[in-house]
Amino acid sequence: MKYRVVLRESDEGFSVTCPGLPGCWSQGRTEDEALANIRDAIREYLEVRDASMRDEETREVEVLV
């Protein structure tokens, strides 16, 4: 899957958030490190989300844009 992320430079390096996944963010000293870290954060976010829905009945819907 692909997710859009917002990368911002700061005095300490770079911060990065994933607007499509509220609360999912990371940081790094370099742009490459921040992007690698957000990949890990997204993966962990999705694992926790999926585990929390394990016993729930879920559906998928398609949205055309």
Instruction: Tell me, yes or no, whether 21 lies in a domain.
Output: no
Torsion sign across C-alpha atoms 28, 30, 36, 42: positive
Rounded CA separation 29/46 (Å): 24
Structural domain for 41, as ranges: 30-54
Q: What percent of the chain has pLDDT over 90?
A: 91
Within a domain: residue 13? no
> Are 25 and 18 contacting, i.e. CB atoms less than 8 angstroms apart?
yes
Is 60 a domain residue? no
Q: How many domains does the chain have?
A: 1
Are residues 6 and 17 in contact, defined by beta-carbon separation less than 8 angstroms?
Answer: yes
Q: What is the mean pLDDT of residues 3-18?
A: 96
Query: pLDDT, tens digit, for every residue of 28-59?
Result: 999 999 999 999 999 999 999 999 999 899 99
Q: Is residue 25 very low, low, confident or very high in pLDDT (cuts 50, 70, 90)?
A: very high
- Of 10 and 14, the structure prediction assigns the larger pLDDT to 14
Note the pLDDT of residue 14.
Answer: 98
